[in-house]
């Protein structure tokens, strides 16, 4: 069994990332099989519960109020509407329902109570519940834990060094602080980042090393390839080379052996073969549903066909706490 280490260096991570591709894949697959079923993929569905007009200036994000994108802002959705969507996600085979809000920090008062009700409702459907609401106080983290939240997503997005090139309205340190609060409240941490924003390989590795050296390591690590949206400062970034995404997934798998490595934004641009290479590299979770937050995602029928043709199965939460088991693919 590969040990979990919290003393990774950027040089070590780079040495892995730069290995000959087949050697890197072999090592990642070896670690993967030590900790996970070899043929199972977790299906998570995303919903934007509050869209756009965000006060942060994240250069990649179509929802920032600082950029002139074609996005129509929307108020916080009602509890019934969200739970109806969660029910539909469950029926189509998702096991985790993730709710995202374009907030700098989670609201207080009635809107926060509304989110707590959504969390309780999603859990009552038998789904894992995840939220991403921006920065949290200790009290908010505690309240989310009491509502039964399974995981909280809060990405580092990039390295500490490159952070200021992408976001100026908050710091990398503030990001880490919310992650600590979530962890201290007993909620699983989901934290990852984006590639394709103009960062160096060293930045990519520094981000993975920061995540790996958290104790405990995050339960899930989303790896996003930038979706270059018109009107954002990163609109002209060239698409990520799929092989770099494969290398990123493989290095994440080796550094964070137990984490669910989620192949996240940017999947629409990937060929079936590139996605399968990412699974080979240790990615074992995807966003499943026709939309991410505001941008497109592969059609669910295409995803089902891809998984079925490759003989992959859906990961289902085990009864009781902790652990996962493997189930059949959902029927169409
Ligand atoms: N406002 C909250 C926050 O920033 O933590 C939650 C929502 S935010 C949209 C969640 C994550 O989506 C970001 O941290 C970023 O990693 C990812 N994301 C946003 N826009 C993206 C894009 N254009 N391409 C790839 N990933 C993106
Ligand atoms: C994550 O790392 N990726 C998801 C989820 N966590 C919240 C969001 C991707 C958003 C892509 C751009 C959009 O659809 O707005
Ligand atoms: Fe706001 Fe989150 Fe988008 Fe940044 S990534 S602009 S915080 S919604």
What are the beta bridge partners of residue 325? Answer: 316
3-state secondary structure of 250: helix
E strands along 118-228, which residues? 128-132, 151-153, 188-190, 193-195, 220-225
pLDDT of residue 108 exceeding 70: yes
pLDDT class of 106 with cuts at 50, 70, 90: confident
User: How does pLDDT run across 12-62, given as a tens digit for each residue?
Assistant: 999 999 999 999 999 999 999 999 999 999 999 999 999 998 999 999 999
Which ligand ends up closest to the CA of 193? 1
Question: How much is the average pLDDT of 83-106?
Answer: 92
Q: Which has the closest alpha carbon to 95: 330, 331, 332?
A: 330
Return the pLDDT at 49.
96
* Residue 47 vs residues 10, 50, 156, 197: alpha-carbon distances, Å: 34, 9, 20, 24
- At 322 the pLDDT is 45
Element (DSSP H or E) covering residue 325: strand 324-327
| Paired strand residues for 315 | 42, 326
Counting ligand 3 atoms within 8 A of each CB, the residue from 63, 174, 227, 229 with the most, and so the one to mutate, is 63
233: helix, coil or strand?
coil
Once rounded to an integer, what is the mean pLDDT over residues 142-161? 97
Please report, for residues 226, 292, 318, the alpha-carbon distance to residue 84 in angstroms, rounded to integers and kept in the order given.
30, 17, 24
Q: What's the pLDDT score for residue 329?
A: 63
Q: Using the mean position of ligand 2's atoms as its centre, give its distance from the Cα of residue 293 in Å.
A: 6
For a mutational test of ligand 1's pocket, the pick from 55, 132, 236, i.e. the residue with the most ligand atoms closer than 8 A to its C-beta, is 132
- The pLDDT value recorded for residue 330 is 60
Q: Are strands 283-287 and 313-317 parallel, antiparallel or unpaired?
A: unpaired
Q: Among the bound ligands, name the one nearest to the CA of residue 175.
A: 1
- Expressed in angstroms and rounded, the spacing between residue 3 Cα and the centre of ligand 2 is 30
Query: Which mutation among 46, 220, 286 tests ligand 2's pocket best, with the greatest number of atoms within 8 A of CB?
Result: 46
Q: Is 102 in the pocket of ligand 3 (CB under 6 A)?
A: yes
Which residues share a beta bridge with 188? Answer: 151
Asked whether residue 319 carries a pLDDT value surpassing 60, the answer given is no
pLDDT of 263 above 70: yes
Q: Is the peptide bond preceding residue 29 cis, with omega within 30 degrees of 0?
A: no
Share of the chain above pLDDT 70, in %: 95
In the prediction, which pLDDT does 321 show? 41
Closest residue to atom 1 of ligand 2, CA basis: 222
Nearest to 188 by CA among 214, 231, 150, 221: 150
- What is the C-alpha end-to-end distance of the chain, expressed in Å? 37
Per-residue pLDDT band for 332 (boundaries 50, 70, 90) equals very low
CA 193/CA 137 separation, integer angstroms: 22
Q: Structure pTM?
A: 0.93
Residues with CB under 6 A from ligand 2: 46, 62, 98, 100, 132, 153, 155, 192, 222, 224, 227, 264-265, 292-295
Question: Is residue 207 within 6 Å of ligand 1 at its C-beta?
Answer: no
Domains and CATH numbers, the chain: 10-317 (3.20.20.70)
What is the C-alpha separation between 238 and 254, in angstroms, rounded?
Answer: 27
* pLDDT of 216 over the 80 cut: yes
pLDDT of residue 317: 54
């Amino acid at each position: 069994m590969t040990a979990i280490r919290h003393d990774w260096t950027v040089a070590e991570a780079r040495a892995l990332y730069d290995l000959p591709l087949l050697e890197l894949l072999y090592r990642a697959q070896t670690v993967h099989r030590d900790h996970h079923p070899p043929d199972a993929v977790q299906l998570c569905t995303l919903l934007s519960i509050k869209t756009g007009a965000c006060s942060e200036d994240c250069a990649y994000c179509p929802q920032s109020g600082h950029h002139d994108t074609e996005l129509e802002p929307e108020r916080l959705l009602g509890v019934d509407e969200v739970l109806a969507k969660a029910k539909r996600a469950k029926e189509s085979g998702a096991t985790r329902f993730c709710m995202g809000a374009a907030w700098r920090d989670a609201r207080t008062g009635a809107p926060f109570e509304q989110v707590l009700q959504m969390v309780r409702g999603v859990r009552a459907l038998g789904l894992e519940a995840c939220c991403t609401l921006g920065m949290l106080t200790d009290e908010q983290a505690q309240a989310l834990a009491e509502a039964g939240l399974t995981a909280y997503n809060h990405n580092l997005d990039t390295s500490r060094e490159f952070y200021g090139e992408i976001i100026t309205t908050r710091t990398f340190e503030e990001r880490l602080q919310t992650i600590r609060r979530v962890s201290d409240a007993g909620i699983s941490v989901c934290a990852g980042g984006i590639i394709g924003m103009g960062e160096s390989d060293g930045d990519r590795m520094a981000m993975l090393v920061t995540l790996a050296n958290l104790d405990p390591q995050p339960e899930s690590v989303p790896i996003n390839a930038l979706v270059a949206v018109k009107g954002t400062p990163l609109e002209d970034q060239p698409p990520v080379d799929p092989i770099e995404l494969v290398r990123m997934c493989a290095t994440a798998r080796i550094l964070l052996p137990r984490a669910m490595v989620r192949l996240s934004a940017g999947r629409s641009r990937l060929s079936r073969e590139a996605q399968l290479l990412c699974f080979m590299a240790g990615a074992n979770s995807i966003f499943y549903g026709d939309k991410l937050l505001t941008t497109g995602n592969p059609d669910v029928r295409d995803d089902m066909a891809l998984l079925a043709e490759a003989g992959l199965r859906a990961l289902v939460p085990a009864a009781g706490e902790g652990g996962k088991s493997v189930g059949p693919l959902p029927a169409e």
